[in-house]
Amino acid sequence: MFYLCLVLLKLIAIPLSLLPRPVFLRLGRGLGRLLFWLGFRVRIARENIGLAFAEWEPARREQLLRDHFEELGILFLELLRMFYRFDRFFDRYADVEGHEPIQRAIDEGGKGVFAMTAHLGNWEVLTLTGRRVFGRQAVMVTKELKPHWLHRVVGVTRSLLGVEMATEPRTMQGVLRGLKQNNIVGWVMDQYAGAPVGVRVPFFGKPVGSHTALAMLAIRTGTPVFPALAVRKRDGRYLVRFGPAIELVDRGDTEASVIANTALFVRHIEEMVREFPAQWLWIHRRWKGDLSPLPPHSEGEMLKVPNG
């Protein structure tokens, strides 16, 4: 199954790679409109947009929903395109900004960096900066894909592009090895995380479970955290942008500092999404569990495993 899938994906990716970019974009938008018409996770996306932008007029939220599905169709085709010489795609269509501070951190610090991002635009484009821009291996913290043969296919493809995956049960080993080798560790901060690794912090004004591992590692290792994104511009090219290193906060207590910095990271993610709302992955279930307000003057609260 692994070899058959690999061959089939390459056979799909090759003709996609030959399409002129304007044709590719029109095809992707058409696919997105089809997905919307078929109702593919439309209800989830509509509910999420309603939670995030409750103050908007319904017509504006509905327009964002439709714009999102057009972007989703393009993303789907680009993910298929990844299986054939995606490095050429990057070299041709990516414009990189703000990478100099990361390069200095790699050259002078020698202990690697974290690139913090979200499911925004095309994160696969962002991972290629490891080899294409910085000349370093990129380590991508991710969950294992299902089924396993698909995980192997994606893993082999990413490896050829200079991207290593750090997955359970060896996520931390992969992350720490990447830092030790002075590489770039990519971390997405827009997925739900429950107890015992999650903390409720505000995202679009709704406290929601967010993973604490990045904050914990940044505090313990002193590794700088740079916000990063790769989004499509109007002309179809990609803006790959790195922001300045995030200045961590110290609350004088480990748990309080982890909560505060996780909240800080999530605020940065929210700013990214607000800037490019149509390109965020509204179809995934970000808001789960207890969405009630936090206690007054609280930055967040750790999620606890229920007793019994």
Tens digits of residue pLDDT in 164-197: 999 988 899 999 999 999 999 999 999 999 999 9
Per CATH, the number for 2-302 is 3.40.1130
| Range of 40-49, 169-178, 282-291 with top mean pLDDT | 40-49
How far apart, in whole angstroms, are the C-alpha atoms of residue 128 and residue 91? 10
Work out the mean pLDDT of the chain and round it to a whole number. Answer: 95
Say if residues 228 and 126 touch (Cβ distance below 8 Å): yes
The dihedral formed by the CA atoms of 3, 4, 9 and 10, expressed in degrees to the nearest 10: 60
The pLDDT of residue 270 is 98
In the structure encoding, which two tokens stand for residue 52, read together? 């995030």
Predicted TM-score of the model (pTM): 0.95
In the structure encoding, which two tokens stand for residue 307, read together? 């007793």
Neighbours of 234 (CB within 10 A): 5
pLDDT-based confidence at residue 308 (cuts at 50, 70, 90)? low
